[in-house]
Each structure stands twice: as C-alpha cells, then as structure tokens.
Amino acid sequence: MLTDQIIQTVVRAALVEDAPWGDVTSSLLIPETASATARLAAREPGTFSGGAVFAAAMTITDPSIVVELAVADGDAFQAGDTLATVSGPARSVLQAERVALNFVQRMSGIATLTASYVAEVAHTKARIVDTRKTTPGLRAFERHAVRSGGGHNHRFSLSDAVMAKDNHLAVLTEQSGLSVTDALLAVRAQLSHTTHLEVEVDRIDQIEPVLAAGIDTIMLDNFTVEQLRDGVALVAGRALVDASGNVNLSTVRAVAETGVDVISVGALTHSVRALDLGLDVVVATP
C-alpha cells in the first residue's frame, strides 16, 4: 500500500539527497520573485503511475506550488500529452524538478511494462505479479506502479508469507532428517490458518512430495513451456501454480496458455527502463 506516510518519508529523503544545502544554480540564476508554470509532458506513449509522488516532491519543496494532475495512475497516454501542470515560485519548481521526474519516470516505466505483460495474457486466467527484486527503499513505489499497470503483487516482504525455496528445503531436510513432505507438514502445523505457504520446485518429480504436504501454492521454477503444461496437469487444481524464471514479453503468452494461475516476473522492477517524460516551462513571470 502506497500511503501518504511512505510517500513523505521517501520523497523527503530524496529531496535532501539532491539539494542538501539548497539549489545553488537556481538561487544564483533565478530571481527570488520569479514564478513559473510548467507541464509534465509525455515524450512517448505509456501508462501513468506516481501522480501523488510527483506532486509530493513539488509541495514538500514548497507548499505554495500548485500541482494539477491531468491523468490518474493507471491511465494510458500518448506522446505529446500533458500529464500534469505545475505552478509556483520558479526557484522551487526547478529545485524539485529532477526528484519529481525521477520518481514518475521510473514508476510510469514500470506501469507501462506491466501493462504490456498483462495485455499478452489477457485471454487467460494467469495473473502477472511482481517479485521482491525491487530497488531498496522504493518497494512501495514500485509495487504501486505494477498495480497501476494492471498487475498484482506477490508477498510484500519476508514477513508476509512462507515461501520455501530450494535452499530453504535443502537446509530444512538436512537438519531435520525428514523427507520433504514430512518437513513441510511440520512447518504447516506451526502456521496459523491465515498464513499462506508457497513452495518452489525445479523438477517435475518434486511436485508430488510437495503437494502431499497440503501447500497453498507451488512455484514451478525455470520450467520449459512443455514442463509447465505437464506440471499444471499433475497439480490438477490441488494448489495454485506459480510460474517463475525465464519469463519475458516474447514467452509470457505461451507460459500463460499452459494454465498456470500466476506468473512471477522480476523484470517488471529490476530491469525496467524509465519512461521519457519531461517538465517543460511554458510560462515564466518576473
């Protein structure tokens, strides 16, 4: 959840990082009394995200700045569209410009990429979800952007659900001396009824022992499309099926068509390109 408190905390830190002792350039070149109106302009098409963050960067810098958003998070736009208008003291607008743009460009890039993935699987039941491969400190921003693009969020943090991967299972079975099934049953016995249990496998023969523990979701990691299809048939509705690994825009449709319920895509956040947006001054007055 992208709350006002999170926005304030992250944006304030970014503004301090960018201008720890003020904006030397603007204070020397721009008269203190000057005002400016600028437009947030799209230089390429995309899906918008980060309106509240963009506005916060402006108004935290100077509460007298007025930000009018022309689009909402999740809205599609075309090159040349005006996404927001900013008016206020010119020094303040220029000081906040880069931080505001950095956030909205990255968030809109994530939303745009996510929307492309979602469009590829729209004819299937599969959900596109993100992963924990996010920029440290920016997870709430980046995961909000995924939702703006029509995607969904995986567990937000290590505290939200049990997700046993290969390394967890290797240590668990070695230390306990139990089979994978019995080790997972012991884990299940310690969980509340509200805690989700997901287990990762990387081979077909691992599926049955894991399912025998009554897990909620099974992640088929780095399976080929053919293996995914076989895995879905083997699971046969006994758990949700999450496909992960080697997923990109050229493969995601085929992955979705195997019948999986969830497709985890780390690239939504770890390899995204910031969208080309600009802040153009359209009116400046003394």
Which ranges in 62-89 belong to alpha helices (H)? none
The Cα–Cα gap between 42 and 39 comes to 9
Q: Catalytic: which of 165, 188, 229, 238? A: 165
Q: Which of 133, 155, 188, 253 is catalytic?
A: 133
132 is catalytic: no
Catalytic residue among 97, 221, 242, 261: 221
Is 223 within 8 Å of 201 (Cβ atoms)?
Answer: no
Taking the C-alpha atoms of residue 45 and residue 61, their distance in angstroms, rounded to an integer, is 29
Structure tokens at 118: 């979602």
Instruction: Let me know if 98 is a catalytic residue.
Output: yes
CA-based nearest residue to 168, from 131, 132, 201, 133: 201
Instruction: Establish whether 4 is a catalytic residue.
Output: no
| Burial of 78 per CB tally in 10 Å (0-12, 13-18, 19+) | exposed
* Rg from Cα positions in the chain: 23
Helical segments of the chain, H only = 4-18, 24-29, 51-61, 90-120, 139-148, 166-176, 180-190, 207-211, 225-235, 252-256, 267-270
Beta strand pairing call for 82-89 and 66-69: antiparallel
State yes or no: is 200 an active-site residue: yes
Residues 97 and 62: beta-carbon distance below 8 Å:
no
Question: Of the residues 130, 200, 242, 261, which is catalytic?
Answer: 200
39 annotated active-site: no
Single out the catalytic residue among 98, 155, 188, 229. Answer: 98
As a dihedral over the C-alpha atoms of residue 221, residue 242, residue 265, residue 43, rounded to 10 degrees, the angle is: 160
Tokens at 85, concatenated: 């208008």
Name the token pair of 63: 């509460």
Contacts of 70 (CB under 8 A, 6+ apart): 81, 82, 83, 84, 85
Token pair, residue 2, equals 């992208």
Catalytic sites, residue numbers: 98, 133, 165, 200, 221
